[in-house]
Amino acid sequence: NTPADFKRDFSDLMIVFGAPSADGAESDPLMGETLYPVARPAVARKIKDPGDLLDFPLIEVATHRAGWTQFFETYALRSVRAKFIYTDSSLMAFALAQHSEKIALARAPASDTAMQAAGLQPCLPDYQIEGVQSYHIIYTNRTHLRPAVRKTRDWLLETFTQKQESHLKFK
């Protein structure tokens, strides 16, 4: 089973988020994600330890597999006091956090630009978790990629490998 865009010869390769095997194509890992709490600077300054997060509404992106539950489990926090607000995208989560006393989860490095544009900053710079999903380049068959498409694939892999390495240096 291959994605409809491949069946119609519409796409030579695609970037997908999640499990590449679900699309029935060959793939290369592109980048993972690191999750950490972000808020407006005035709110972020009020957060001194992970338990302080529970004093604020937490924005959860319902379409992602990893979120606040995994964050709480990683840091052994009891989330029974947590007040969740659900949204369908990180962009909406950032917009809500930008104009309120709510806290969102950044999904770096993919969300870095949107987080900065919303004026958000990390609440607890030393507290972060690795996401369970990642980005992949998918295509029907590596050996049959046209030269220009192969060059694009190679450029994407090189570019994102360098971005991941530089992102890790600044954590």
**pLDDT truncated to tens, each residue of the chain (171 aa)?**
455 555 555 678 888 887 666 555 788 888 888 999 999 999 999 999 999 999 999 999 988 878 898 999 999 888 778 899 999 999 999 999 999 999 999 988 888 999 999 999 999 989 999 888 888 888 888 888 999 999 999 999 998 876 666 555 444
What does the H/E/C string look like for 88-154?
CCHHHHHHHHHCCCCEEEEEECCCHHHHHHCCCEECCCCCCEECCCEEEEEECCHHHCCHHHHHHHH
pLDDT at 1: 43
Q: What is the pLDDT of residue 100?
A: 95
The pTM for the full model equals 0.76
pLDDT at residue 98, as a whole number: 97
Q: Cβ of 91: how many Cβ atoms within 10 Å?
A: 15
